[in-house]
Chains A and B, each alone.
Chain A
Amino acid sequence: METQETGIENFDERESLRVITEMIAVSRKKLRHDGILFIVWGWALFYSSFSGYLKEEILFSNLQYKLFHYMEYFLMIFVFGFTLWYLFRKDRKTSTYIGLSLRWVWFSAFFCMVLINLIQANVVHKINFELQHPIFMVVIAFAVVVSGVILRYGFMIGMGILFGLLAYAGSFFELHTQMLAESVAWFFGFILPGHILFARKTKEA
């Protein structure tokens, strides 16, 4: 951008409008959400749910079962570590209200799930996983819809609604079938919108 050290400039109103439009376009391009966390969490949770289904439906050897099981722990540790690094990394040059809002939505969803477990333990004196999974899915569906609204991303809103419907559909079945519905939900609610966001960001970069 052409500069003048004095700060006294004789540019007209059209020029002002051009500067504003240009800067809004720069911000939009640079601050576009990259969807990385949706991709990483999506794949990890897809694996976790799908392997939960496979472990019940297909007869595994003890070694295979353990491999699947430990892989879930490994993935969760990796995803938590990656999330912390991503959220608090130091090369970030801006802080946006969109980022802050998304962070609060997902922290709140996480704490809601913790509270649901605690309430369930108080009321029914055990954790009923067949009840827990659909309720957690509803909380996540809500967070996906709100994220879509914050990002003004209609496809994500639609996928959040689908996530909720899959939670309801899953509630008709036993736990292992619920896991299949859950893995489908992770794919459509997280992985697909995440990859589309990422592709858009890299295309524009």
Chain B
Amino acid sequence: MFPALDPVLHSQVRLAVMSLLVGVRSAEFSYLLESIQTTKGNLSFQLGKLKEAGYIDIKKSFRGNYPLTTCEITPKGAEAFEQYVRAISGYLR
């Protein structure tokens, strides 16, 4: 029997965000936006969902006069991502 896929991660944008964040210490909103190539609104919405699940931390600060959003994967998020990858590998085997 295959394990159920995590519904929080089973979404294109959220999965893309997690795939990017898992390899870095932290990344700015603009980096995620240009890498994933989605809309600002959608990315904010999906980041909110990931934060709600406790998978990422979002830090809001300022750089000069401009707001700066930085995202970081949490240990819980890293574990969930690892389990998700393990699960889809099982499906594809």
A residues apposed to B, CB below 8 Å = 1-5, 7-9, 11, 13-17, 19-20, 22-24, 26-27, 30-31, 90, 93-97, 100
Q: Is the CB of B85 within 8 A of A13?
A: no
Q: Is the CB of B13 within 8 A of A27?
A: no
Q: In the complex, what residues of A have CB within 8 A of residue B41's CB? A: 5
A92, closest chain B residue (CB): B28
Q: In the complex, what residues of A have CB within 8 A of residue B25's CB? A: 94-97, 100
Q: In the complex, what residues of A have CB within 8 A of residue B20's CB? A: 23, 26-27
Q: Is the CB of A95 within 8 A of B24?
A: yes
- In the assembly, what is the distance between CA of A165 and CA of B92, in Å? 49
Q: Is the CB of B27 within 8 A of A1?
A: no
Q: What are 7 pairs between A and B in contact, CB < 8 Å?
A: A2-B12, A7-B14, A14-B92, A24-B23, A30-B35, A31-B24, A94-B31
Q: How large is the interface on B (under 10, 10 to 19, 20 to 34, 35 or more residues)?
A: 20 to 34
A23-B35, A27-B23, A100-B25 known; A9 vs B16 contact (CB < 8 Å) = no
Q: Is the CB of A4 within 8 A of B12?
A: yes
- In the assembly, what is the distance between CA of A23 and CA of B28, in Å? 15
B residues apposed to A, CB below 8 Å = 5, 10-16, 19-20, 23-28, 30-31, 35-39, 41-42, 45-46, 49, 63, 84-85, 88, 91-92
Once A and B bind, how many residue pairs between them come within 8 Å at the CB atom? 92
A23-B35, A96-B25 known; A3 vs B13 contact (CB < 8 Å) = yes
> Within the complex, what minimum Cβ distance (angstroms) separates A7 from chain B?
5
Q: In the complex, what residues of B have CB within 8 A of residue A94's CB? A: 24-28, 31
- In the assembly, what is the distance between CA of A24 and CA of B81, in Å? 13
Q: In the complex, what residues of A have CB within 8 A of residue B10's CB? A: 9, 11, 16
Q: Which of B19, B27, B36, B38 contacts A20 (CB under 8 A)?
A: B19
A14-B92, A17-B88, A19-B19 known; A3 vs B38 contact (CB < 8 Å) = yes
A19-B16, A27-B23, A96-B23 known; A7 vs B31 contact (CB < 8 Å) = no
> Within the complex, what minimum Cβ distance (angstroms) separates A129 from chain B?
40
Q: Is the CB of A20 within 8 A of B85?
A: yes
